[in-house]
Amino acid sequence: MIASRSISIPLTIIAAILTTAALKEGAYFLAPTVLALITGVILSPAIGLLLRAGLPRSAAAGAVLAFALVALTVIALLLEPFIWRALEKLPLVWVELQETLRQLQDALRGLNEMTEDVKEAISPDGANDGEEQESSLALPSAIDAIAMAPTIAAQLMIFTGVLFFFLFTRDSIYTWGAKALGGRNLESRDRYKASLLTAEHMVSRYFITITLINACLGLAVAAAMVMLGMASPIMWGIAAFAVNFVPYLGPAVFATVLLLGGIVAFDGFMSVVPMCVYVCMNVTEGQFVTPSLVGKTLNMNPLLIFLSLVFFLWIWGPLGGFVAIPVLLWVLLVADLMKPDQEVREAAERRQELDDTVAEKIAEGN
pLDDT digits (tens, 9 = 90+) for 324-352: 888 888 888 888 776 655 555 555 556 55
pLDDT band at 289 (very low <50, low <70, confident <90, very high): confident
In this prediction, residues 230-256 reach a mean pLDDT of 89
Report how far residue 267's alpha carbon sits from residue 229's, in angstroms, rounded to the nearest whole number: 13
In this prediction, residues 255-276 reach a mean pLDDT of 87
Report how far residue 102's alpha carbon sits from residue 310's, in angstroms, rounded to the nearest whole number: 34
Answer whether residue 95 shows pLDDT above 50. Answer: yes
Report how far residue 249's alpha carbon sits from residue 282's, in angstroms, rounded to the nearest whole number: 12
Contact present, 322 and 37 (Cβ < 8 Å): no
Per-residue pLDDT at 278: 95
Alpha carbons within 13 A on the beta-carbon side of 276: 7
Of residues 194 and 222, the one with the higher pLDDT is 222
Report how far residue 350's alpha carbon sits from residue 344's, in angstroms, rounded to the nearest whole number: 10
Answer whether residue 110 shows pLDDT above 80. Answer: no
pLDDT band at 72 (very low <50, low <70, confident <90, very high): confident
Answer whether residue 134 shows pLDDT above 80. Answer: no
Any idea which of 43-52, 59-68, 229-238, 347-356 has the lowest mean pLDDT? 347-356
Answer whether residue 136 shows pLDDT above 50. Answer: no
228 residue type, one letter: L
Per-residue pLDDT at 362: 63
Any idea which of 84-98, 185-199, 278-292 has the lowest mean pLDDT? 84-98
Of residues 138 and 48, the one with the higher pLDDT is 48
Answer whether residue 310 shows pLDDT above 60. Answer: yes
Per-residue pLDDT at 38: 92
Report how far residue 308's alpha carbon sits from residue 311's, in angstroms, rounded to the nearest whole number: 5
pLDDT band at 89 (very low <50, low <70, confident <90, very high): low
pLDDT band at 361 (very low <50, low <70, confident <90, very high): low
Per-residue pLDDT at 9: 78
Answer whether residue 226 shows pLDDT above 90. Answer: yes
Answer whether residue 128 shows pLDDT above 50. Answer: no
In this prediction, residues 292-313 reach a mean pLDDT of 79
344 residue type, one letter: V
Contact present, 91 and 78 (Cβ < 8 Å): no
Answer whether residue 34 shows pLDDT above 90. Answer: yes
Nearest to 39 by CA among 166, 124, 139, 154: 166
Per-residue pLDDT at 254: 92
pLDDT band at 12 (very low <50, low <70, confident <90, very high): confident
Answer whether residue 48 shows pLDDT above 50. Answer: yes
The number of residues making up the chain comes to 366
Report how far residue 167's alpha carbon sits from residue 40's, in angstroms, rounded to the nearest whole number: 6
In this prediction, residues 262-283 reach a mean pLDDT of 89
With a threshold of 0.75, does the pTM exceed it?
A: no
Per-residue pLDDT at 127: 42
Per-residue pLDDT at 10: 80
In this prediction, residues 66-73 reach a mean pLDDT of 88
Nearest to 241 by CA among 287, 204, 208, 210: 210
Answer whether residue 213 shows pLDDT above 80. Answer: yes
* CB burial string 120-131: b at 16+ within 10 A, e below: eeebeeeeeeee
